Amino acid sequence: MKYQRPVGGRVAAVVAGILAISGQHLLTPLSLLHWHNVFQHLYYLPIVYAGLTFGWRGGVAAAVLAGLSNAPHNFLSIGAMPGYAIDQILDVPLFCAAGILTGVLAERGRKQRADLERTTARLTEVYQKLQDNFERMKRAERLFALGQLSAGLAHELRNPLASIAGAAGILQRDLRLEHRDAECLGIITKECQRLNGLLTHFLDFARPRAPKYQTTDLRVVIDSVVELTTHAAGEKAIRLRPEISPQLAPVACDPELLTQVLLNLIINAIQATPDGGEVLVSAGPRNDRLLIQVRDEGWGIAAADRDRIFDPFFTTKENGTGLGLSVAHQIVEQHGGMLTAAENSGKGMTFSVSLPLRHERPHEA
Ligand SMILES: Nc1ncnc2c1ncn2[C@@H]1O[C@H](COP(=O)(O)OP(=O)(O)OP(=O)(O)O)[C@@H](O)[C@H]1O
Ligand SMILES: [Mg+2]
């Protein structure tokens, strides 16, 4: 950074310079007129310096000080050399003009420099942002390529997996197996099912299909999901209670995709709720939107995890894939809606799906 002398020091330098020149005027005999001429012109130095340093006000102040401090010399010489003294007095407006001019020019220069510095800072910031975006784009491109690759791999894994599960099924059916072998085949079948579920979820997430809109009665969708999950709820003696508003009109949506969303939410709710609890599934219009809610009496979600539950592969379950909520979130967004989670005032969580109340299928791009 450039060194700048303190303000007090710069004021003192200007004042000292002017007083020294006025002192020379007083001490030098009038007969040495050429020296007085030199002193008179020397006043411009501190005046211009004051204008450059303190702006036009500083320039004027220095010019006035020069005029005042030279007044005793003018007073003493006006009797002997009136022309000379008047010349010197008339110099004062010229001093003021010089002070103002240098001050104004210096201020303009300073302002231009500040503008330039601001523009440079802004340009640097924009350049940095551009650089960051470029980096992010490169990363996104790499991730996209990786996503395509893993989706292709996942797809290819399904065929051999189906063959393994099929072969295990044939062995289980056709052979009279010993207890231990039958147990091993059971494990193979179960793990194949689990892997198949994981691959299905992953493919749903990696290659989401566009919604196929049709006018849908949500009662039918909710009833079918409740039926599909009754078995899982029954195993824990959990009561599944649908509560559907009589004002619920048919809406345009993809019933298959919405079934997938509700299945994920209700299964999560059942898994979180302790034995004998209740899971409430409600649906109805709310403020020009359609609101579907799944409310459980479970253990809730720790504050630290709440921001991450919609991230792919985030799970706190031993056998979870962590893709259920991210798939659901993606489907709801495709429908132009929102999926949110909120803690209940008592215990458990409520997951809310809010959809635009479309009665006709939207124009697809
Ligand atoms: N109703 C809920 N109550 C408490 N925690 C929940 C609830 N729903 C989701 N979570 C938390 O969010 C995490 C992510 O849920 P998500 O459905 O995406 O995956 P998952 O259930 O763990 O696995 P998957 O759905 O593939 O079986 C869960 O592991 C759980 O910690
Ligand atoms: Mg889940």
Q: Is residue 365 part of a domain?
A: no
Q: Do residues 109 and 243 share a domain?
A: no
Sequence-distant (6+) residues with CB within 8 A of 329 are 310, 339
Q: Is residue 70 part of a domain?
A: yes
Q: Is residue 361 part of a domain?
A: no
DSSP character for 314?
Answer: -
Q: Is residue 362 part of a domain?
A: no
Q: Is residue 350 part of a domain?
A: yes
The identity of residue 273, as a single letter, is T
- Number of domains comprising the chain: 2
Q: Is residue 96 part of a domain?
A: yes
What kind and span of H or E run contains 341? Answer: strand 338-343
The identity of residue 218, as a single letter, is L
Residue 64, token pair as written in the block:
């006035």
Q: Is residue 364 part of a domain?
A: no
Q: Do residues 131 and 170 share a domain?
A: yes
Give per-residue pLDDT as tens, 157-201: 888 898 998 888 888 887 677 778 888 888 999 899 889 888 888
Q: Do residues 166 and 305 share a domain?
A: no
Q: Do residues 159 and 94 share a domain?
A: yes
Query: What is the model's pTM?
Result: 0.60
Answer yes or no: are the C-beta atoms of 253 and 219 closer than 8 Å: no
Measuring CA to CA, which residue among 271, 329, 261 is closest to residue 297? 271
* Residue at a domain's end among 176, 207, 238: 207
User: Atom 23 (ligand 1): residue with closest C-alpha?
Assistant: 320
Residue the block writes with tokens 């020091």: 9
Ligand 1 in reach of 349 Cβ (< 6 A): yes
CA distance 91 to 44: 10
Q: Do residues 300 and 242 share a domain?
A: yes
CA of 283 to the centre of ligand 2 (A): 21
Which pLDDT does position 365 carry in this prediction? Answer: 42
Q: Half-sphere exposure of 176 toward its Cβ, with a 13 Å CA cutoff?
A: 0
Q: Do residues 174 and 38 share a domain?
A: yes
Ligand 1 in reach of 344 Cβ (< 6 A): no
- Tell me the residue range of the domain where 336 lies: 214-356
Q: Is 124 exposed, middle or buried (0-12, 13-18, 19+ CB in 10 A)?
A: exposed
Q: Do residues 253 and 152 share a domain?
A: no
Q: Who surrounds ion ligand 2 at CB < 5 A?
A: 268, 324
Q: Do residues 186 and 220 share a domain?
A: no
Q: Is residue 262 part of a domain?
A: yes
Shortest-distance ligand to the CA of residue 315: 1
CA distance 284 to 290: 6
Ligand 1 in reach of 200 Cβ (< 6 A): no
Q: Do residues 191 and 219 share a domain?
A: no
Which ligand 1 atom is nearest residue 348's CA? 3
Measuring CA to CA, which residue among 332, 324, 312 is closest to residue 340? 332
Helices 44-69 and 82-174 pack at an angle, to 10 degrees, of 130
Residues of the chain with pLDDT under 50: 365
Which pLDDT does position 354 carry in this prediction? Answer: 96
CATH number for the domain that contains residue 282: 3.30.565.10
Q: Do residues 228 and 148 share a domain?
A: no
* Residue at a domain's end among 190, 207, 224: 207
Q: Do residues 231 and 252 share a domain?
A: yes
Q: Is 361 exposed, middle or buried (0-12, 13-18, 19+ CB in 10 A)?
A: middle
Q: Do residues 184 and 254 share a domain?
A: no
* Residue at a domain's end among 189, 207, 225: 207
Q: What does DSSP say about strands 289-295 and 278-286: parallel, antiparallel, or unpaired?
A: antiparallel
CA distance 91 to 315: 87
